[in-house]
């Protein structure tokens, strides 16, 4: 027997996850377990969870079913009859979680620009508050005119969905036993709950829309067992589902069963097309802007210091601190006033442990950099002469503004992410210095920008009417 190829679970995260779920046959379970693997790739080498799998899965399933009914009783939903009156007013529906987060804001902002009299917005997912409160969490300032919020749950349809939910959860006993990675009970319970919730969402949709012609459903987020089952029910009734992907594609964690996935860039869409998920992966084409001339200032945007970054649990703010020192030494060698270097941390800077936040802020203060003012808009990113970011969506944001972004990676980088093809990717201090020199020279700056644009293919900002034709 040939020796099995060893893969680095960080660099080869997509391939490792594909291997971990290759024996999982049911698409819903495969996506859920692949999503788990993609967010816990450090544990892939830990081996399969076999001992006690059956009992653990049965226990998680029973708790999930009880929790679902309890939450519907506590927080309520929207009756199919009431929802039908709203859904009958048009041919388009939108779906988003009731939260103000990176996975919802892109749809919220697009909805605020969308010119339509009525905008039916489904709030799926785990109910944690009454529908009105969930709607307020999604749109806290009421920016969406004509919004009609609907929770795709009711007690009657939830109870009617239980036979389907039980069958799906029973199949999970075998599917989880074929998952080639550890699966903790808390994660097992969360997946089981989403599976049961998805069955309830699907049953609700069928009851609410029977006979209606809903042509399009646009999702802010999908790929989990609850939302994918809602999509499948929509597709069964002739609705075309579109996932408006919210961030940089990291592989399986961004896979789903939508008819179409609209990614932020062509590079992201190419990775999505490699996985057995969406019907079509695409992006909204955007004409390349002229490269910005620069205003003499530099920008540094750090993002390792945030709770969802896979490296944060082990490295804390250390990579961001090290990058600050790299930029500081480059500024010293190139004669750049440190006060003209504007530092912008990840928005979660206030949520991380105080010790890590203070360590990073102290390093920035020692370097003499200026904190990005609250009054300086994010779009000012295009005005700087040099802009450095850790791997994040800042790359494509900057390119859209004419900025040849320098991406500095200080931890192992997944090789199939769009950053790997970026001509201004740097992984050590010497290359960072060379990249800054490159973008400060007008001719080389224009060449670098042209090459980066061709490799990344940034997509246009979401215009919902463009998505209807996909």
What are the structure tokens assigned to 410, written together? Answer: 């200080």
For the segment 175-186, what is each residue's pLDDT rounded down to a tens digit? 999 999 899 999
Which residue in this structure is represented by tokens 């999982």?
24
Which pLDDT band, with edges at 50, 70 and 90, does 142 fall under?
A: very high
Could you tell me if 254 and 102 are in contact, meaning their C-beta atoms sit under 8 angstroms apart? no
Could you give the count of Cα atoms lying within 13 Å of 410 in the half-sphere of its Cβ? 26
Please, what are the domains in the chain?
A: 1-283 (3.40.50), 298-456 (3.40.50.2000)
Please give the full DSSP string across 447-458, using - where no structure is assigned: HHHHHHHHHH-B
pLDDT given at position 7: 72
Handedness of CA 182, 187, 189, 192 (dihedral sign): negative
In angstroms, the Cα distances linking 418 to 118, 168, 243, 366 are 37, 35, 19, 33
Per-residue burial over 305-320, b = 16 or more CB atoms within 10 Å of its CB, e = otherwise: bbeebbbbeebbbbbb
End-to-end CA distance of the chain: 47
Distance CA 394, CA 248 (A): 10
pLDDT given at position 12: 87
pTM score of the predicted model: 0.90
Task: From 193, 137, 196, select the one nearest 161 (Cα to Cα).
Answer: 196
Using the predicted structure, report yes or no on whether residue 304 has a pLDDT greater than 50. Answer: yes
What are the structure tokens assigned to 451, written together? Answer: 């090459």
Using the predicted structure, report yes or no on whether residue 166 has a pLDDT greater than 60. Answer: yes
Which pLDDT band, with edges at 50, 70 and 90, does 1 fall under?
A: very low
Please give the full DSSP string across 237-252, using - where no structure is assigned: TTPEEEEE--S---SG
Give the distance from CA 222 to its chain's centroid.
Answer: 10
pLDDT given at position 3: 46
Could you give the count of Cα atoms lying within 13 Å of 220 in the half-sphere of its Cβ? 24
Rounded to 5 degrees, φ, ψ at 392 are -170, 175
pLDDT given at position 27: 95
Instruction: Walk across the sheet containing 280-283 and list its strands.
Output: 147-150, 119-122, 92-95, 216-219, 240-244, 260-263, 280-283
What are the structure tokens assigned to 133, written together? Answer: 């409160």
Could you give the count of Cα atoms lying within 13 Å of 308 in the half-sphere of its Cβ? 10
Distance CA 407, CA 360 (A): 19
Which pLDDT band, with edges at 50, 70 and 90, does 48 fall under?
A: low
pLDDT given at position 315: 92
Length of the chain counted residue by residue: 470
Using the predicted structure, report yes or no on whether residue 366 has a pLDDT greater than 90. Answer: yes
What are the structure tokens assigned to 368, written together? Answer: 């003499």
For the segment 446-464, what is each residue's pLDDT rounded down to a tens digit? 999 999 999 999 999 888 9
Using the predicted structure, report yes or no on whether residue 2 has a pLDDT greater than 50. Answer: no
């Amino acid at each position: 027997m040939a020796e099995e190829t060893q893969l680095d679970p960080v660099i080869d995260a997509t391939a490792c996850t594909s291997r971990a779920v290759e024996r999982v046959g049911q698409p819903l379970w495969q996506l859920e377990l692949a999503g788990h693997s993609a967010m816990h790739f450090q544990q892939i080498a830990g081996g399969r969870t076999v001992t006690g799998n059956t009992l653990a899965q049965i226990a998680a399933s029973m708790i999930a079913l009880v929790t679902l009914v309890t939450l519907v009783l506590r927080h309520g939903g929207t009756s199919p009859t009431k929802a039908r009156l709203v859904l009958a007013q048009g041919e388009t529906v939108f779906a988003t979680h009731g939260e103000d987060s990176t996975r919802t804001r892109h749809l919220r902002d697009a909805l605020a620009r969308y010119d339509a009299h009525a905008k039916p917005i489904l709030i799926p997912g785990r109910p944690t508050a009454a529908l009105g409160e969930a709607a307020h969490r999604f749109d806290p300032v009421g920016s969406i005119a004509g919004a009609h919020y609907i929770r795709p749950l009711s007690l009657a349809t939830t109870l009617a969905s239980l036979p389907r939910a039980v069958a799906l959860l029973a199949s999970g006993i075998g599917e989880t036993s074929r998952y080639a990675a550890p699966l903790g009970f808390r994660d097992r319970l969360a997946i089981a709950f989403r599976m049961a919730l998805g069955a309830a969402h699907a049953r609700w949709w069928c009851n609410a829309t029977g006979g209606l012609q809903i042509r399009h459903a646009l999702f802010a987020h999908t790929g989990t067992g609850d939302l994918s089952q809602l999509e499948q029910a929509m597709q069964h009734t002739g609705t075309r589902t579109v996932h408006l992907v919210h961030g940089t594609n990291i592989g399986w964690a961004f896979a789903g069963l939508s008819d179409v996935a609209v990614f932020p860039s062509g590079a992201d869409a190419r990775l999505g097309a490699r996985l057995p998920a969406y019907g079509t992966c695409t992006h909204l084409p955007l004409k390349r802007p002229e490269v910005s001339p620069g205003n003499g200032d530099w920008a540094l945007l750090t993002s390792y210091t945030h709770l969802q970054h896979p490296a944060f649990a082990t490295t804390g703010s250390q990579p961001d601190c090290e990058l600050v020192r790299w930029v500081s030494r480059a500024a010293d060698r190139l004669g750049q006033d440190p006060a003209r270097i504007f530092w912008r941390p990840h928005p979660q800077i206030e949520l991380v442990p105080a010790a890590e936040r203070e360590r990073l802020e102290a390093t920035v203060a020692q370097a003499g950099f200026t904190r990005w003012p609250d009054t300086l808009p994010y779009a000012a990113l295009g005005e700087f002469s040099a802009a450095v970011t850790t791997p994040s969506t800042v790359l494509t944001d900057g390119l859209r503004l004419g900025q040849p972004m320098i991406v500095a990676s200080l931890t192992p980088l997944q090789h199939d992410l769009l950053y790997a093809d970026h001509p201004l990717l740097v992984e050590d201090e010497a290359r960072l210095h060379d990249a800054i020199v490159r973008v400060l020279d007008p001719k080389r700056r224009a060449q670098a920008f042209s090459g980066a644009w061709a490799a990344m293919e940034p997509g246009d900002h979401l215009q919902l009417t463009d998505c209807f034709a996909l």
